[in-house]
Structure 1
């Protein structure tokens, strides 16, 4: 799958992977090399926080609501815990800089 911006049609990642299971979520980027073409999608529960503890590189994260609308985009350096994002239902994680130009209110989609 690819992660794309619905407004512009711009491809953000050519390899979008959904991490729905417990073990897949726990592994996340920990055992993966930084790859600018990969996006990891993580379903969130209300108030859940993401982190980069144990990682060697920074991530850029797009938090989206249940309608795939971007609520917040932030870059998280290694060994940090992200703030809570109210209303977020999914987070898309890319290597830092991978979401450059993505704005709050933009719609993301996988195809």
Structure 2
């Protein structure tokens, strides 16, 4: 996984520290067997147009993005043992429950992921 930040393109503000899944195994695993996310943290999975919370012990916010980073759909507080998908989605951001609303991630808003460079 690569570390980075989620940036709102309209304001340039940093919204959250978001790790990006790189390989197919990382994408399949997602948040399974990981500690719950805390406010200000997220996981970006790409390419991806559907997720499940089977095997998870906590609810998450799921934000579906198109190829350009435009929010298509938000599934707030998706409980364990559920599935969600969005037609046209190419990326998914998983956040702690309640974070999508707090960060203002609403349909049509555009965000981008930027890798954090380490010295």
TM value normalised by structure 1: 0.85
* 2:55 pairs with 1:50: no
Unaligned runs of at least 5 residues, structure 2: 115-119
2-side partners of 1:62 and 1:32: how far apart? 19
RMSD over aligned CA atoms reads: 1.6
2-side partners of 1:12 and 1:32: how far apart? 22
Matches within 5 A, 1:1-111: 1-14=4-17, 16-36=18-38, 37-44=40-47, 48-75=49-76, 76-82=78-84, 84-100=85-101, 101-111=104-114
1:18-42, Cα deviation, whole Å (9 max, x unpaired): 1131221122111211122321111
Equivalent pairs, count: 107
Q: Determine which structure has the larger strand proportion and give its number.
A: 2
1-side partners of 2:42 and 2:10: how far apart? 18
**Does the residue aligned with 1:24 lie in a helix, a strand or coil?**
helix
**Does the residue aligned with 1:103 lie in a helix, a strand or coil?**
coil
**Does the residue aligned with 2:36 lie in a helix, a strand or coil?**
coil
TM value normalised by structure 2: 0.80
1-side partners of 2:47 and 2:79: how far apart? 20
Residues 44 and 110 of structure 1: CA distance in aligned 2, closer, same or farther (over 3 Å):
closer
1-side partners of 2:58 and 2:8: how far apart? 24
2-side partners of 1:39 and 1:12: how far apart? 10
Q: Is the Cα–Cα contact under 8 Å of residues 65 and 73 in structure 2 kept in the other structure?
A: yes
